[in-house]
Amino acid sequence: MGNTGYYLVGRLLTTKVYKIEFLWNALLTTMNPGKGLEIKDIGGQRFLLKFNHIVDKNRAMDGCPWAFDKNVMILNTVDSDENPSTVDLNWCAFYVYVHGLPLGKMTKQIAQLIGGKMG
């Protein structure tokens, strides 16, 4: 992978072994980058995504969180002069919908209580 491009580093939250080729095919299909995508296994259960256009990289980040084979995929940006092995990949933001919550319980305090139980 050359140094020019737009990079994301990622990992799957799984203990299962997966083939990088299957992940690459799935990412090409779901992210549908217009200008191309390269993926490289960089060890430590991490992979590097190189996009050829900033729009494709931004679309990938806007679509987070992603999943592969029913496992959460954490992505984070990485600059070309940054070591992708040191980028924090220990959390990701996602929405949680709580159905049937009484209107009077829809408060910030209740949201924090529910979020605290989830981790």
DSSP symbols for 76-93: EEE-TTS-GGGS--S---
Domain borders along the chain are 6-86
pLDDT (tens digit per residue) in 59-116? 998 887 888 888 888 999 998 788 999 999 988 877 788 899 999 999 999 999 988 8
How sure is the predictor about 119, in pLDDT bands with cuts at 50, 70 and 90? Answer: low
The domain defined by 6-86 folds into: Alpha-Beta Plaits (3.30.70)
Residue 57's pLDDT is 92
Answer whether the bond into residue 65 is a cis peptide, omega within 30°: yes
Burial bucket for residue 37 (CB in 10 Å: 0-12, 13-18, 19+): buried
